Structure formats: C-alpha cells, structure tokens
Amino acid sequence: MRRRGLLSLGATALGLALTGVALASLWRQPQSLPAEGTVETLADYGLVPDFRLTERSGSTVTLADLRGKVWLANFIYTECTETCPLQSLQVQRLQKEFAGSADLRFVSITVDPGHDTPEVLRRYAERYGADPGRWLFLTGPKPAIYGLAKGGFKLGVSDASPAAQGGVPGWPLGPGPAFASHGSGGLILHSSRFVLVDRQARIRAYHRTDDPDSLARLRENLRALLAGS
C-alpha cells in the first residue's frame, strides 16, 4: 500500500512538473506566432478584436477609442512584485521619452480584476505618474480580459489560485515565485510582453520588458509607426 501511495505521489509530482513547463511556455512568449526574436520585427500579427473595458476614471474604453492611435499594450496586476513593477517603470520611461507624441497611448490591462477596481488602478497609476490622457489602466469582467489576452493578443495568462479553481482546498502547489507571488492567492501567471499596435488596430510587434536590446528595438518600432510605417 505504501509503495502504491509513493507511486501515486510521484505521478502527481510529474504531472505538476509538466504543467509547470507548459505554463512557463505560455508565460514567456506569444502563442501561435513565429519563433522567438522574429516577433520584434514590424509585421502584421493580426487584428486586436473589439473590447469594452473600464478605465481607472470609471469611463468605458473600447477599441474604437484607440483607432487612429499608435499604442502599447501590456498586462499587469497591482499586487504583483515580479514582472509588473518593471513593466510599469518601463512604460513610465517611455511616457517621458515620447512626451511629444500626441498620437501615442499606453494601455495597461489588469489580469486580477477581482481585486483591481478602478479605484485600486487609480492609486497604482498615481504611483507611476501616469498621464490620464495618455496612459490608460483598464479592468472589467475576467472572462473578457482573459479572452482578450489569449485570443486577441495571443499571450498566455492563467489564474491557478484556489478561488479560481472553485475554492478547492489543497490546490496542489502552484507555480513558483518566478512567475508571481501575490494577488489572487499568488498564482496568476501572465505574459510580461509589450505588444505594439498600429493606428488600424493591427498587432505589429512583441517586445520583452527585461531585455535592453528588445526595448531598444521597441523604441525604433514606435518611432517608425508614429512616422507612418
């Protein structure tokens, strides 16, 4: 009996390890897209689908509100202390660097809408000096946000917290702190990529937020799109 129990435990551990590898793959790179590196080259990676979300001001934002603008999208949550602060610091720098670009918008979308109400997002935005006219923070129904991340932007996102699993007690282990360590039980995994979108709502490039070379290419791509490429 003891051996059978050990075998069962070993199978469970193996399953968790394989799940972790799969989730890591989701987290690190866009889904159903060309190989790593090529997605930083300006191309057409598909249209952003229509959406209807709520900005920190309480106003409704749809895709139509961003048409005619070049914009940079990213996914965060306010209780994250892993990749999200780095993402927000990078956007803060871009906001200052491109202060003269009236047609550029930054769009940060929470993956923890149960916690990140418009008021919570407003306080988070103030922490980074976000210009309310140029840097939007969006929340809304979780299915809509996760559908937009996965189906629209082709980015991985997963909430493995007990609450998201129907409150099942003893939800096994979950991902390690390399992915996330807080918010919704500390088990939200999401891509840290920046997604560059043109004036026609076409996805034009994906960039890493932790790689100086990728961020340098992002700046080049931003200038090209703002110039009309």
3 state SS for 8-37:
HHHHHHHHHHHHHHHHHHHHHCCCCCCCCC
Q: How far is CA 169 from the centre of its chain?
A: 28
The pLDDT assigned to 166 comes to 46
| CATH assignment of the domain containing 88 | 3.40.30.10
The reply to whether 117 falls in a domain is: yes
The reply to whether 29 falls in a domain is: no
Higher pLDDT, 188 or 151: 151
The pLDDT assigned to 51 comes to 98
Query: Using only C-alpha atoms, what is the Rg of the chain?
Result: 19
- Work out whether the CA dihedral 179, 185, 190, 196 comes out positive or negative: negative
The reply to whether 82 falls in a domain is: yes
The reply to whether 102 falls in a domain is: yes
Structurally, the chain folds into a number of domains equal to 1
- CB under 8 A, 24+ apart: contacts of 203-206: 203/44, 203/45, 203/46, 203/47, 203/48, 203/153, 203/154, 204/42, 204/43, 204/44, 204/45, 205/39, 205/40, 205/41, 205/42, 205/43, 205/45, 206/29, 206/30, 206/33, 206/39, 206/40, 206/45
- Compute the C-alpha angle 208/213/48, nearest 5°: 35
What is the pLDDT confidence band of residue 156, given thresholds at 50, 70 and 90?
Answer: confident
The reply to whether 15 falls in a domain is: no
Judge if pTM exceeds 0.85. Answer: no
Higher pLDDT, 177 or 99: 99
Assess whether pLDDT exceeds 70 at residue 37: no
Phi-psi region of 74 (alpha: psi -120 to 50; beta: other; left: phi over 0): beta
- The stretch 65-88 carries a mean pLDDT of 94
Assess whether pLDDT exceeds 90 at residue 226: yes
Domain range for residue 213? 39-226
Per-residue pLDDT of 71-81, as tens digits, reads 999 999 999 88
Give the percent of the chain with pLDDT over 70: 72
The reply to whether 218 falls in a domain is: yes
The pLDDT assigned to 27 comes to 42
The reply to whether 154 falls in a domain is: yes
Higher pLDDT, 165 or 108: 108
- Under a CB-based contact definition with an 8 Å cutoff, are residues 155 and 28 in contact? no
The pLDDT assigned to 158 comes to 78
The reply to whether 23 falls in a domain is: no
- The stretch 89-111 carries a mean pLDDT of 97
Higher pLDDT, 143 or 169: 143
**Dist. CA 158–CA 22, nearest whole Å:** 11
What is the pLDDT confidence band of residue 187, given thresholds at 50, 70 and 90?
Answer: low
